[in-house]
Structure 1
């Protein structure tokens, strides 16, 4: 049976609100939580971007059952992979084994801030391979020295290391990335309901694994208000990841999406009060073979009501699919 998650969208809610939503999401019956890990919001109208790891540490302490995951962390520029390995190990201990480290090659929006430029995609993927190798080694608890093309680690050890390390999810988008990362990752992450991705991953990664997707929805008792909010805060979604990975600032996303109309957004994001329609928008992920699907409720305006009142009946409809 497909498992359903709730997204802690750090770009659209403050840190205290996110912890509160996480507690309510657990009570509503979500199976897992995923958190974005951003330095900037996609658009200035979202208005937030708190440090995901602090939020997740608080969530780990405030919850007891629900699983947790970064969706996703880039361990190559803003963070050195040795630091990511330590953070993930600590969070796994705080959550008592409920954490999965979701990794990817990142977006310019978040990684350029450290002033190291933005490499080509092939370089970013090479860097991610090295980073995952380092994280794997450090999660053994052994002393690690690593001398790669992009990263060096000098006599490092994680002293508080969970038994078995931390499961790694890795974002893939096609055959080439599956070939690069299937041996290093435990679980697949993807943002498109493409059955060929699932088939390719299973062929390259025969061990049991999760296939974790994510989809935005915009619940509101007023459909027009939902469409307006989705357009105001989530029209960047229409660009696709080939574009989204390379734009450097919220101003860039605003410029790139200036001609996206509300009706365009409504075609790609289900908006309004119809829970059947919201649930049915997830069906392509189920049909494609995803084991886990995380929902994004767009905007903070109706977030508390969504997670407190709407999530439980919506989950019933999703599980009935």
Structure 2
């Protein structure tokens, strides 16, 4: 059976409440956890965006779950600093941590005041950053000149085994392109057909390691309530790529998606009051080739979701396997 994990969304809850939620998720039977590393939320309605790395240390110290983070070193984080953070968590919590690396979004990176590069430049920067970080995590002293600059950097406290560095990709083309360096892949799992193509392209290009997905969903006892939660807390996330990578402020996301339709919302978020439909969707996605699937309950109501899925959905999935 695929690993079913809990996505800890910093946008919806203050860090302290999110810590309580992931502890609850472990007790309810979730197998693992992950989070994203954002400076800003996608909307003012979401209203939160805690620092992922402080939170990860607290979460890993107070649970026994394995954790991952999606992050974008290269602008807001110098690769030497990013490597040191990864190494510290890896040393403190052996074989319980992975990091997925992407090329970034302006909403998190513009704060440095440096120009926001075009996508080809960001892709080159990512490849250089991955190489620098991997060498640092392997104990090398690194000097590098290119899209990033590094002068005689070394990470001194390192784990015995380097934490996996996964690629974060939203398209089949990107998954194929990054298969050469990645220790695994994470992508958004919304449509089983599109997901199967991403998995196939990654594997056919030589991609190794686990393929992970993140499913945005809303469950509530009433269908109308579930739809309202999705609209209130995730409509601003409906900006498509590549435009989404270049928008800076939560207010801009809100304006861009003000006229989004219910059909568009349901295409991005799996919305249902029926726990059986959620279980069926999860089974379809894992059957498309996922090794791990992380469930992201959109909105602030995490504990009812955790209880309902822990009692009804997770046992059903494990029984079916």
- If the TM-score is normalised by the length of the shorter chain, which range does it land in? over 0.9
Note the C-alpha offset of 1:246.
Answer: 1.9
Q: 2:26 aligns to what?
A: 26
**Taking structure 1 as the reference length, what is the TM-score of the superposition?**
0.92
Residue of structure 1 aligned with 2:143, choices 138, 142, 145: 145
Mapped partners of 2:283, 2:12: distance in 1? 26
Please identify, of 175-184 and 98-107, the stretch whose mean Cα deviation from structure 2 is larger: 175-184
Note the C-alpha offset of 1:36.
Answer: 1.2
Q: Which structure 2 residues correspond to residues 294-309 of structure 1 after superposition, within 5 A?
A: 294-300=294-300, 302-309=301-308
The answer to whether the Cα contact below 8 Å between 1:103 and 1:170 also exists between their aligned partners in 2 is yes
Mapped partners of 1:232, 1:178: distance in 2? 31
Note the C-alpha offset of 1:318.
Answer: 3.3
Mapped partners of 1:265, 1:203: distance in 2? 32
Note the C-alpha offset of 1:151.
Answer: 1.4
Mapped partners of 2:178, 2:96: distance in 1? 23
Q: 1:136 aligns to what?
A: 134
Note the C-alpha offset of 1:106.
Answer: 1.2
Q: Which structure 2 residues correspond to residues 192-207 of structure 1 after superposition, within 5 A?
A: 192=189, 193-205=194-206, 207=208
Mapped partners of 1:76, 1:55: distance in 2? 21
Note the C-alpha offset of 1:268.
Answer: 4.1
Mapped partners of 1:178, 1:281: distance in 2? 22
Please identify, of 264-273 and 184-193, the stretch whose mean Cα deviation from structure 2 is larger: 264-273
SS where residue 242 of structure 2 aligns?
Answer: helix
The answer to whether the Cα contact below 8 Å between 1:168 and 1:187 also exists between their aligned partners in 2 is yes
Deviations 1:29-66 (A, max 9, x none): 212111011111101100100100010010010012x1
Note the C-alpha offset of 1:99.
Answer: 0.2
Structure 2 segments unaligned to the other structure (5+ residues): none
| 2:177 aligned with 1:185 | no
The answer to whether the Cα contact below 8 Å between 2:35 and 2:52 also exists between their aligned partners in 1 is yes
Number of paired residues?
A: 316
SS where residue 45 of structure 1 aligns?
Answer: coil
SS where residue 286 of structure 2 aligns?
Answer: helix
Note the C-alpha offset of 1:154.
Answer: 1.6
Residues 260, 206 of structure 1: CA spacing in aligned structure 2 closer, same or farther, 3 A cutoff? closer
Residues 202, 25 of structure 1: CA spacing in aligned structure 2 closer, same or farther, 3 A cutoff? same
**Taking structure 2 as the reference length, what is the TM-score of the superposition?**
0.92
Mapped partners of 2:106, 2:244: distance in 1? 8
Residues 125, 232 of structure 1: CA spacing in aligned structure 2 closer, same or farther, 3 A cutoff? same
Structure 1 segments unaligned to the other structure (5+ residues): none
Mapped partners of 1:173, 1:217: distance in 2? 17
Mapped partners of 2:171, 2:261: distance in 1? 29
The answer to whether the Cα contact below 8 Å between 1:228 and 1:262 also exists between their aligned partners in 2 is no
The answer to whether the Cα contact below 8 Å between 1:139 and 1:165 also exists between their aligned partners in 2 is yes
Q: 2:317 aligns to what?
A: 318
Note the C-alpha offset of 1:195.
Answer: 1.7
Note the C-alpha offset of 1:91.
Answer: 1.0
Note the C-alpha offset of 1:200.
Answer: 1.8
Deviations 1:103-144 (A, max 9, x none): 111111111121112211111110000000011000112322
Deviations 1:224-256 (A, max 9, x none): 111111101101333333332222111111011
The answer to whether the Cα contact below 8 Å between 2:42 and 2:237 also exists between their aligned partners in 1 is no
| 2:153 aligned with 1:162 | no
Q: 2:220 aligns to what?
A: 220
Please identify, of 177-186 and 151-160, the stretch whose mean Cα deviation from structure 2 is larger: 177-186
Residues 134, 267 of structure 1: CA spacing in aligned structure 2 closer, same or farther, 3 A cutoff? closer
